[in-house]
Chains A and B, each alone.
Chain A
């Protein structure tokens, strides 16, 4: 187990192992998202109150899930990088940040679009919308800080520290904003409690969430692989690879 993790920490091994893993995640992501969206958009019953507009949930909720987990993933990768100096972890963290920011934006945007038919407005200073907006700012801060340093190593370590500080603050921000004001419907989807919606609506949502996670893993693997090639471009194994490819 430990030797596997150590191997994974070496860029070369990560490159080789991820080559074998990546196709599976792509296939799983494509299948799950295809099944989930067709089921959710065409076959799931319409909501008795919201009609067909509720179907935005099949994009909104997975994106919101991912937005929060990517930040945690980024902070964990930052911790691994800071403690064990594993460069691959930092590359993965660097590649996760823009994706997480994009997911946060998708969750905010789809929420705004959903707000028009249900609340009658694009934006409400509702607790969850607000904490999502703050999350977007945290992502932008991490991305900006990493880019601001002339030396890549300093930028990596600074971004790792900020990601860890952010991840401690996210629950505090979330609860304080909840205290501040809330209008949003309670969480419609949770792993621990019984679903509040019928199975026909809930199953495609679960499939979409899983599909989004697979998509995220596949994209992160792919982007980390190209980052490895970019950063290690002066190493012999990368040159050999380039020669073979030619």
Chain B
């Protein structure tokens, strides 16, 4: 088969010369850049979770009590739960656009390993959802009269934790992307898996308020992130293949 042989030869040549058009790093950066550009062109999609976060936080003092002392005691949990829900809200669109216009299929057909490319997509989701949420949380913390001295830990724990949330959530998003009404199902699948991150994230802020030092909690958040980074890309890739072939 001369055609195949030629293709193989070309591939070998390419790998010998460092494969300028299709190396792992090139593919990773290309996917990252493409998704960043796409998302930055649709700013409202980036802003919506942030507005949602602010809105939910506004509802709590109205629903519970405007008493600063009471709010301060529940603020860590409220901020974390609201940020978690905001991150969840944006998950459905993670693969939806690519699925609808067919570019997800192209992603599956590329010779580069799918888990790596998926990791780039998740990284973009974290950069434009998790990180802004983490940066915005201290401002909302002021509204809830969160005690001084825990703002840094709040932002750091959210930045670390939301990366795990994006990774784990992407598994659910990949599983439900082929379903026309996957939104509610997605939250049903993903929320139970979010609980460990919530426990240690809110725990870190609590510990910082009590003056216990949050480093243990932050270390566990980092460990959860390491585990998710190691395993989740494979699960996401497998889930995408199921959703596309089904």
Whether the Cβ atoms of A145 and B199 lie closer than 8 Å is no
Whether the Cβ atoms of A151 and B246 lie closer than 8 Å is yes
Whether the Cβ atoms of B195 and A149 lie closer than 8 Å is no
With A141-B188, A144-B185, A144-B188 as contacts: A154 and B195 at CB distance below 8 Å? no
Among A63-110, those with CB < 8 Å from B are 82
Distance in angstroms from A94 CB to nearest chain B CB is 16
Decide if B242 is an interface residue (CB 8 Å cutoff): yes
Q: For A140, what are the chain B residues with a Cβ–Cβ distance below 8 Å?
A: 188
With A148-B185, A151-B246 as contacts: A173 and B235 at CB distance below 8 Å? no
Q: For A157, what are the chain B residues with a Cβ–Cβ distance below 8 Å?
A: 242, 246
Whether the Cβ atoms of A149 and B192 lie closer than 8 Å is no
Decide if B27 is an interface residue (CB 8 Å cutoff): no
> How far is A138 from B227 in the complex, measured between Cα atoms in Å?
20
> How far is A153 from B179 in the complex, measured between Cα atoms in Å?
14
Q: For A154, what are the chain B residues with a Cβ–Cβ distance below 8 Å?
A: 178, 242-243, 245-246
Interface centre among A140, A153, A155, A176 (most CB of B within 10 A): A176
Q: For B188, what are the chain A residues with a Cβ–Cβ distance below 8 Å?
A: 137, 140-141, 144
Q: How many A-B residue pairs have CB under 8 A?
A: 78
Decide if B208 is an interface residue (CB 8 Å cutoff): no
Within 8 Å by CB of A148, from B176, B231, B235, B239, lies: B176
Decide if A134 is an interface residue (CB 8 Å cutoff): yes
Among B201-240, those with CB < 8 Å from A are 203, 220, 224, 227, 231, 235, 238-239
Closest to B245 in A: A154
Q: How would residues 114 to 149 of chain A score, 1 for a CB under 8 Å from any chain B CB and 0 otherwise?
A: 000000000000000000001001101100110011
Interface centre among B193, B200, B224 (most CB of A within 10 A): B193
> How far is A165 from B237 in the complex, measured between Cα atoms in Å?
13
With A154-B245, A172-B196, A180-B203 as contacts: A145 and B189 at CB distance below 8 Å? yes
Closest to A171 in B: B196
Whether the Cβ atoms of A141 and B179 lie closer than 8 Å is no
Decide if B191 is an interface residue (CB 8 Å cutoff): yes
Decide if A112 is an interface residue (CB 8 Å cutoff): no
Distance in angstroms from B130 CB to nearest chain A CB is 19
Decide if A219 is an interface residue (CB 8 Å cutoff): no
Decide if A48 is an interface residue (CB 8 Å cutoff): no
Whether the Cβ atoms of B196 and A173 lie closer than 8 Å is yes
Decide if B171 is an interface residue (CB 8 Å cutoff): yes
Q: How would residues 158 to 197 of chain A score, 1 for a CB under 8 Å from any chain B CB and 0 otherwise?
A: 1001101110110011001101100000000000000000
Q: How would residues 153 to 194 of chain B score, 1 for a CB under 8 Å from any chain A CB and 0 otherwise?
A: 000000000000000000100011011001001001101110
Q: Given known contacts A155-B246, A168-B231, A180-B203, what 12 new A-B pairs fall within 8 Å (CB)?
A: A137-B188, A144-B188, A145-B175, A157-B242, A158-B175, A161-B235, A162-B189, A165-B235, A169-B196, A173-B192, A173-B195, A173-B196
Seen from chain B, the residues whose Cβ lies within 8 Å of a Cβ on chain A are: 171, 175-176, 178-179, 182, 185, 188-189, 191-193, 195-196, 199-200, 203, 220, 224, 227, 231, 235, 238-239, 242-243, 245-246
Which 7 pairs show the lowest CB-CB distances between chains A and B?
A154-B246, A176-B196, A141-B189, A137-B192, A157-B242, A176-B199, A180-B199
